[in-house]
Structure 1
C-alpha cells in the first residue's frame, strides 16, 4: 500500500505499481507524475465515481482496479488506454457499460456485484478476452456476440436474471471454468440426489481457531459434542451472505450437500441450521495438516493458469494417482448432475505421494441429467479444465518415460477445440487406470 503523501513527495517516482486507498473522492492528479512508467493502478476501497480523460496518457497502464468505489458507469476513458488488458470494477454501482469503455486489448474484465442489466454487443469484438466475471448483476441475457470471443476460458454469470442458458457457450473452444447458479433458468435444476447429512445443533459445537478464510466464508476448527456419540473434531464453515466472484454462498452450500461422498472430495458431515445470527454453516471433515494446497490461484499475468510453488516436483506415479482420483471425483459429480466449475490445482489438497482432495464448491452449478445434450456439453467443458490440470501435473514430473507420451496425448485430447471430441470423465478415468500398471512396470527398473 502506498500513500498520497509519498506520491506528492516524489518518493514513488518511476513506480510501475501504485496502490492507494485513502477514502479518495477525487482522482489524485499527482498520479500523472508516473504516466511514463505506471503499469498497475489499484484504487480499490475509495469513494471515486469518475476517472479523468488524461488517464489515457498513461500509455503503459496494463491493469486497473477500482473495486469498492461509487462508479455508476464504466468510465469511457478506459477504452482509450492503449496498453490496458485487465479492468476490475467489482462492488460498485455500475448500471451502464458503454462500448467506448472497452479497451481493444481487453483480456480480463471483472464487473462482479454491480447493477448491470445489459452488456454492449461490442464486447464480442474483444477477441483477446480470456476471463469475464459478471456474477451478482441484473443481466437477463448475454450478448450473442460473445460467441466471437474464441479465447474465453473462464466465465462467471451466477446470481443474475438470465431466463435461458446460453447454449452457444458450449461451442466456445477454450471455455473450461463456468459458473451460472442463481439464475432463474437454473432454479429448477436439481442434482440426481441430495445427500442426507446430519443436523448439527449449534449448542453442541465448541468453536475453536480460525483455520482459513475465503470469499464465501470462514473455516474454524470445532468439536461436535454430539448427544448421540463421542466428541468429533470437524471443520466448521460459516458462510457469508454477500455475492462472491463465483456466485452466491447459498449455491455453494447446495452443491456441497449434493456432491455426496467420494474418497477424493472433502466430505460434508452435517448442516448447522440454528446459528444464533442465522448464518448458514456446514460441518466438514477436518483435513490432516500434512495435506497442502497444490497450487496458488492465477496471477495477474497468467490470467487463467495456476501458479505452482517454485521447486515443486512430483513423481510420475504420484501425478498419475492424483489425476486418476480427480477424474474419478469429477465423474462422480457429473453422474449426479453437478459441475464443479473451478477444477483447478489451487482447489486441490495433496500429500506429495498421490493422495488428493478436491474442495471449494463456490463456483459449482447443478444441471438436469435428463437434458442429455446440455449434460454432455457441460461435462466436456469441465473436461477441458481437467486437461489443463493434467498438463500442469505432468510439467511437475522430471522423469519422462513412454507412458508420459500417453498422458500427454490424453491431456491434449481433453483440450480439443471441438468439445464433442473430448472424452468423458468416465472414459478418462478408465484410460488412466489402464496406464497405471504399464507405468509401474516401466518405472520399476528406475526405482531399483
Structure 2
C-alpha cells in the first residue's frame, strides 16, 4: 500500500488512511476515539481505549477527555508524561492525592463516574477535590521538544508552542458543518465545494429512476403512513419540551456535582495547622522516583485555620538537591489561598515536620525550622504555589526499608504549624 495503511473506522464500513510514520498504537487511539465521537458510536469491546477501571466497560471516554496530540522527541520521557487515562501527553497535568498524574479533563471525567473510582495506576480511591494543578510537571513539559501527531504534519517545536501551531495546522481534522464528517483543515474548502455541487444537482433535478427522483421516491413510499400537520406540530412541541427538560436536568446535575465537590473538599481538609499524610505503595513509588518517572509527591492542601494560610507538603522519595540519591527530601509549599490579602506576609510560623514511627517503642523522625522572611518561598504567592522549602536531608533513604516507619508498604508523614501570633480573621 505504499506509504499509507488503511484502518477501519469503528462501527462503519469506512476506512481511514494513516501515514507510515503514524502507525503506532498511540496514533490509532486518536483515530478510533475521534471517529467514534463523530459517528456517535461506542468503541468496540476490544478497543484499548475502553475504561478498565471501576465502572462499565461499555462506557467509552468522551472525545473531550484527551491529552495533547504531540509526540515527545525524547523517547525516555514518553512514559513519564503520559496520562494513564487517555494514554496521551498530559494536557494541564493535575496530581491526585495518591501522587499519580492525569490530564485535568481526564481526571474530572474519571472521577465523575458512579461508584468508587480507583486510580488506574495504584488503585487508591480517587477524589477530584483533593487534586491540584502540577505546576512543576507543566514547567518540565513546556521545555520539551515535541512533534505534531496529526497524520502528515512535519511540525517540530517546544511543547508550549504546540497549542498555537494546532490552531493553524492544515492536518487537524475538523467537523464539516454540512455533513458532520471529519475533514482535514487544508482540504475543507475543496470538501465543501462538493456540497455546493450536490445542492445544484438537487436544484436542477436528478436523473430519472434514481432514488433522488421525486417520482421514484414517492412510489417507494406509498405504503408508509404519513403524519398529519396537527400531529407534526404536536410532535415538534413535545420534542421542544423534552429538550427543555433535558437541559434543566443537566443544570441540576452540574449544581449537584459542584456541591458534592465542596462537601468532599471540606471533609478531607484540615483547618488547624496539623496535617497527617498517609502514603501507600511506598515500594512502587520509591522505585518510580529512582527511575525518574515520578520525582516528587504532593499532599492535599490544608490550612492553618478556616481563613488562614493554604499549604501542602512535597516529598522526594529519592531525594532532591543535596539529598538526591541518599536522603528523603521533605518540604512545605505555600499555596495561593482565598484570604491571602487579609494575612500577614511573609509567612513566619515555625514548621515541624515528622515521619511517624509505627512502633510505639521507637520515636518519630522530626525536624523543625523557622521560615526565612527574605525567601521567596514564604512571600505572598504570585502563582498557584511558591517554591517548596524544608529539609533536603530529612532522613536516609534506607529508612524506607525500616518496618518501624514503613509497615504494610505504608508510611505516615506529619506537619504541624505553630499557631503563635496568628490573628484569627473574623
TM exceeding 0.5: no
Q: What's the TM-score once normalised by structure 1's chain length?
A: 0.25
Look at both structures and tell me which one has the larger radius of gyration over its CA atoms. Answer: 2
TM-score where L is the length of structure 2: 0.26
